[in-house]
Amino acid sequence: MTRPTPRPGAGGRLRAVVTDVDGTLTSADRRLDPNAIAVIRSLEANGVPVVLATGNVLPIALALHRFLGLTGPIVAENGGIVYRRAGRTDLVERLADPRAPRAAYRRLVRRGLGVRRLFTDRWRETEVALEPNVSVAAIRAALGRSGLTVESTGFAIHLMAPGAGKLPGLRRALRPIGLTPRACVVLGDGDNDIAMLRAAGFGVSFPSASPGARAAASYVTRAEASAGFVEGVKVSGILEGRRRSQGG
């Protein structure tokens, strides 16, 4: 259901944008959209920090962060890693322990499920990401009551330590800049985005997003992927609100 009325953020207004990357900021085939890039640069130029919150590894997210000229922090590996820039210093916090996810992966292999780790897992530090060739239900059944979080992004299946997730990572990432998720527009399309969308000041999801992500959002766009990103930011009113506050 579409509910296009933003909930107020901290201080009575929305102050930052938090976005998933694959299929949200990018097109469905993971290509950057010039229109989405223009919106991001307009946000940053008007003093609205953009935060990347992704299941991808930090090296990929950091390259995108620098290419786009972002000032917000990064939540990588579904909240397992938080990155921010402090002056000239790169600060990285690891919030999750990879030992349980790695042990779970070995268990799945021993059970003959045919799981395969992503190519990017050679850079992954706090979780395990699998190709989506085996269902989430089958993986959860094989692991039993392990306590691990198993979530799908639509592009991969992630094995995460108990308590890990994008929302805890986002809260930690926002703390140094004095914000909470309620002060943010959050855009996402996967089950791993649900908690962030629920906590957001204004959550945006997409027609082809997971049912849980759509239900958690304040607004479901008409357009898909990166075009939906542009639509969602516009509907949130964050840019117009920022310009009014600056007297523009």
Which helix (DSSP H) or strand (DSSP E) does residue 199 occupy?
Answer: helix 194-199
Which helix (DSSP H) or strand (DSSP E) does residue 220 occupy?
Answer: strand 219-220
Of the residues 20, 22, 191, 193, only one is catalytic, namely 20
Residue 53: helix, strand or coil by DSSP? strand
Q: What is the CA radius of gyration of the chain?
A: 18
DSSP conformational letter for 56: S
How far apart CA 167 and CA 195 sit, in angstroms, is 6
How far apart CA 84 and CA 72 sit, in angstroms, is 7
Question: Nearest to residue 24, comparing CAs of 56, 63, 57, 47?
Answer: 56
DSSP conformational letter for 29: T
Active site residue 20: yes
- The residue whose two tokens read 């395969």 is 116
Residues with active-site annotation: 20
